[in-house]
């Protein structure tokens, strides 16, 4: 019976229609004598932002920028005007802007007003943009030393600027995490093949439900369209270099949804050309909803 439920969830998530999560079961187990309780960071994006008058519902849960005063990596320039909620979706477009004499990528970012902490299940239904830019859903501690990447993807098949094939990336989702030391800067993330999830069709072609069960500091399970696709467990893969001092992924984190032009790609000229950016549809990332659950003892009210 569980297999049938997962298949149904997958079918719901591969249409281009907006569907709220109420008919999509949580694929991860809550645990013995426990059930999932929806958390206030969840958002169906069934409203409009910006609004002409009054206060937008966006600010009940999010700020329309990064959680610190930083405008983004590399050629990225996050801008509040590039955060739009319409037609039941969060939309983050990208466009060209000249800034301090440099061609940069104007795009958007939102960050949760409140932090989340394990154990939890978090999942987004998203449609990756047809772009060499990164479409992201992630969590980051406020001291920027611990990060869980729920969704990181690059949707385009080709880079005009680099004159290079990109189909390897368009067929893969990056499901990973980072632990950092900030001074002197050091960064660890898993490099195993399992951190790149292959799909026969490019991921950009459909909406997909992508989530992570953050069980505890040493265990992460990743789910795509209702199916368990990756498990990461233990010190040898979570923090083999000891950057967390033996605590693992233990810190509270903010939820972040954004588009960005990442340094490691733009340094290889894998950044949108002016002509590519003129295609607004290709360069708009859409998130239908995001939901967050905590496991609670069975019998407690679950909204």
Backbone angles phi, psi at 96, to 5 degrees: -90, 140
Gap between the Cα atoms of 178 and 188, Å rounded:
6
Separation of alpha carbons 119 and 30, rounded Å: 9
Write out the two tokens for 273. Answer: 């050309």
Question: Is there a catalytic annotation at residue 147?
Answer: yes
Q: Which of 137, 190, 144, 166 is nearest to 269 (CA)?
A: 166
Is residue 200 annotated as part of the catalytic site, yes or no?
A: no
- Direct distance between the N- and C-terminal alpha carbons of the chain, in angstroms, rounded to an integer: 24
User: Of the candidates 183, 298, 290, 177, which has an alpha carbon nearest to the alpha carbon of residue 232?
Assistant: 177
Which is catalytic among the residues 91, 147, 260, 276?
A: 147
Cα dihedral 151→29→3→8 (10° resolution): -50
- Structure token pair of residue 253: 């984190």
Which residue from 289, 278, 255 is spatially nearest to 94, judged by alpha carbons?
Answer: 278
Q: Which of 91, 123, 152, 260 is catalytic?
A: 152
Q: How far apart are CA 155 and CA 112, in angstroms?
A: 25
SS3 102: strand
* Residues identified as active-site: 147, 152
């Amino acid at each position: 019976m569980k297999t049938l439920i997962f298949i149904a969830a997958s079918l719901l998530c591969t249409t281009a229609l907006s569907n709220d999560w109420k008919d999509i079961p949580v694929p991860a187990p809550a645990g013995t004598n426990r059930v999932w309780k929806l958390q206030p960071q969840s958002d169906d994006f069934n409203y409009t932002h910006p609004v002409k008058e009054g206060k937008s519902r966006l600010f009940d849960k999010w700020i329309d920028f990064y959680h610190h005063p930083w405008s983004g990596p590399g050629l990225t320039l996050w801008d509040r005007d590039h955060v739009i909620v319409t037609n039941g979706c969060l939309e983050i477009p990208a466009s060209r802007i000249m800034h301090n004499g440099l061609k940069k990528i104007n795009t958007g970012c939102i960050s949760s007003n409140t932090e989340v902490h394990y154990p939890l299940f978090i999942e987004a239904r998203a449609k990756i943009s047809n772009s060499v830019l990164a479409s992201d859903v992630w969590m980051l501690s406020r001291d920027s030393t611990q990060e869980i990447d729920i969704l990181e993807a690059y949707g385009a098949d080709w880079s005009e600027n680099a004159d290079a094939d990109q189909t390897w990336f368009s067929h893969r989702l990056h499901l990973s995490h980072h632990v950092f030391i900030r001074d002197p800067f050091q960064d660890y993330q898993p490099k195993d093949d399992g951190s790149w999830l292959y799909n026969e069709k490019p991921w950009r072609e459909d909406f997909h439900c992508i989530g992570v069960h953050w069980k505890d500091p040493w265990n992460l399970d990743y789910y795509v369209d209702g199916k368990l696709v990756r498990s990461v467990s233990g010190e040898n893969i979570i923090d083999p270099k000891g950057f967390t001092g033996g605590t693992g992924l233990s810190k509270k984190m903010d939820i972040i949804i954004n588009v960005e032009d990442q340094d490691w790609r733009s340094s290889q000229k894998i950044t949108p050309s002016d002509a590519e950016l003129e295609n607004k549809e290709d360069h708009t990332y859409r998130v239908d909803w995001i939901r967050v659950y905590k496991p609670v003892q069975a019998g407690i009210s679950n909204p």
